[in-house]
Amino acid sequence: MTKTILRALKGEVLPTPPIWMMRQAGRYLPEYRETRAQAGDFLKLCYNPDLAAEVTLQPIRRYGFDAAILFADILLLPQALGPKLWFETGEGPRMETTTTMGQVENLKPTGAIHDTLSPIYETVRILARELPKETTLIGFAGAPWTVATYMVAGKGSKDQAAAHGLKDHDRATFQALIDRITDATVEYLSAQIEAGAEVVKLFDSWAGSLKGQDFRDFAEAPTAKIIAALKARHPGTPIIAFPREAGQGYIGFAHRTGADCVAIDNSVSPEWAAANVQIDGCVQGNLAPEHMVTGGQALVAATQHVVRAFSKGPHIFNLGHGITPDANPDNVQLMIDTVRAG
């Protein structure tokens, strides 16, 4: 019997939607905090296959989600291209910047990424072996625009001003950077699929700051290129795209990029997404992650609202963005029980 997530990705409408959660392995879980402390720091955890597999499995054991997402980070790929990466406690990622043509040309060749990333493939192999037979294994990478925003600024930023600046004032360098990330992402996801990932997801967390032609050139075009290359090599592997806060850009996104499923953030209503995006195929989303903090009857009502709005088409239930560290694990159980009760 085919796994429920794979059935939804093929367009099947199930009696209740399969469910998983962005950042389901994370700091809201005491068992994650314990393993992370054992690893030393976040990057050591990502590069330790046994511990990374362990934290990936923790939310599966606790909740029985229908999918497990590989525990890693979107910034490991740019790190594998050469720039140093570290995490400042309480502040987030920091990275050596890439802002000139010379620096783009000095990035390591695409084929060299596996030297750094081979422990990640080992994590995938362990998970492919150890996951329950009904659980789908999802691999992932950042989409080129989002990865570029961190490479150019050297850190996260609210408005991605540094990347916009490079894009607007030195288009050739910016395009060369996007092209390098695009090629490396194809190799990275391909290796994850060969190691046992059954679905892959592209996180374009900052797609919402690209407008008009920029959205087409830097959110859609690189995504379409990655998907075409993966489909040529691995025709049976479904791909989820997440152009977060794309707004009107969600309309036709699956069509224009070849994605099998579009993940929807919670800045749009599920009714709007059902009418405008789900008409093209499977969608994933989009409960506001705040409900995992606040819980109660409002969580139940909002969960039922999302389930009902998407009930006429293929749907994978998820949050609209990652669960936050201050979430209550009991609220996650309440969400799952509500979804599965129909």
Active site positions, annotated: 23, 27, 36, 73, 150
Number of residues that bind ligand CP3 (CB under 6 A): 21
* Pairing label, strands 282-287, 315-319: parallel
In the list 17, 18, 83, 93, the residue contacting ligand CP3 (rule: CB under 6 A) is 93
Instruction: Determine how many CB atoms are found less than 10 A away from the CB of residue 64.
Output: 13
Give me the residues paired with residue 239 across strands: 200
Q: Does 24 bind ligand CP3 (CB under 6 A)?
A: yes
Burial class (CB in 10 A: 0-12, 13-18, 19+), 328: middle
Q: Give the shortest CB-208-to-ligand CP3 separation in angstroms.
A: 11
Identify the three-state secondary structure at position 246.
coil
Residue 117 and residue 76 in contact, taking contact as beta carbons nearer than 8 Å:
yes
CA distance linking residue 282 with residue 310, whole number of Å: 10
Q: Who contacts 330 (Cβ-Cβ below 8 Å, separation ≥6)?
A: 295
Q: Which residue is nearest to ligand CP3 (CB)?
A: 205
Q: Does 203 bind ligand CP3 (CB under 6 A)?
A: yes
Residue 73 annotated as lining a ligand binding site: yes
Q: Does 205 bind ligand CP3 (CB under 6 A)?
A: yes
Give the per-residue contact string, 40-59, with ligand CP3 (x = CB under 6 A; - = no). Answer: --x-----------------
> Which parts of 126-185 interact with ligand CP3 (CB under 6 A)?
140, 156
Q: Does 71 bind ligand CP3 (CB under 6 A)?
A: yes
Tokens standing for 252? 């036709």
In the list 29, 60, 67, 75, the residue contacting ligand CP3 (rule: CB under 6 A) is 75
Q: Does 74 bind ligand CP3 (CB under 6 A)?
A: yes
Element (H, E) at 88: strand 85-88
Determine the longest span between alpha carbons in the chain, in angstroms.
57
Residue 27 annotated as lining a ligand binding site: yes
Comparing CB distances to ligand CP3, the nearer of 140 and 317 is: 140
Residue 25 annotated as lining a ligand binding site: yes
CA distance linking residue 168 with residue 180, whole number of Å: 18
Give the per-residue contact string, 267-306, with ligand CP3 (x = CB under 6 A; - = no). Answer: ----------------------------------------
Q: Does 36 bind ligand CP3 (CB under 6 A)?
A: yes
CA distance linking residue 102 with residue 99, whole number of Å: 9
Say whether the peptide bond before residue 266 is cis (omega within 30 degrees of 0). Answer: no
CA distance linking residue 331 with residue 131, whole number of Å: 24
Q: Give the shortest CB-105-to-ligand CP3 separation in angstroms.
A: 25
Q: Give the shortest CB-167-to-ligand CP3 separation in angstroms.
A: 18
* Interacting residues with ligand CP3 (CB under 6 A): 22-27, 36, 42, 69, 71-75, 92-93, 140, 156, 203, 205, 322
